[in-house]
Amino acid sequence: MNKTNSLPFFTTTKKDGFVKLITPDSGLIGMPQPDEFGVKVKIFLDPAIQLGDWFKLESDRLPIVNGFYQVYEMIYDFATREPQYYIELYGKNKRI
């Protein structure tokens, strides 16, 4: 709990200066998809990513979406018979 006696749901600051770099070499799958709030990306499962975390997107195929984003939604995609472990991250490029 913080000093206001409320539980923070997510933070609006980059925690400890850590920002996850998302590139094709680090697990980006396909092309980033711009949406009404920022961008949607599909990556391999990374349990360290949480709601409110920041990531830096670097895409050679769609450089207009490169930049810093804060995760506001996560959708997990698992399969039981295939090695399919993905996360769809929805990132907003301004504070949530």
The yes-or-no verdict on residue 9 having pLDDT over 60 is no
Listed residue (92, 93, 56) closest to 74, CA to CA:
92
Ramachandran bin of 58, using left for φ above 0, alpha for ψ from -120 to 50, beta for the remaining angles: beta
Q: In this structure, what token pair is assigned to residue 19?
A: 């920002």
Query: What integer is the mean pLDDT of 56-63?
Result: 94
pLDDT band at 1 (very low <50, low <70, confident <90, very high): very low
Using CA atoms, how far apart are residues 13 and 31, in angstroms rounded to an integer? Answer: 27
- pLDDT tens digit string along 22-57? 999 999 999 999 999 999 999 998 888 999 999 999
The yes-or-no verdict on residue 4 having pLDDT over 50 is no
Q: In this structure, what token pair is assigned to residue 63?
A: 């450089």
Task: Specify the pLDDT at position 15.
Answer: 54
Residue labelled with tokens 């939604």:
73
Q: In this structure, what token pair is assigned to residue 40?
A: 């949607």
Q: In this structure, what token pair is assigned to residue 71?
A: 């995760």
Q: What is the pTM of this model?
A: 0.77
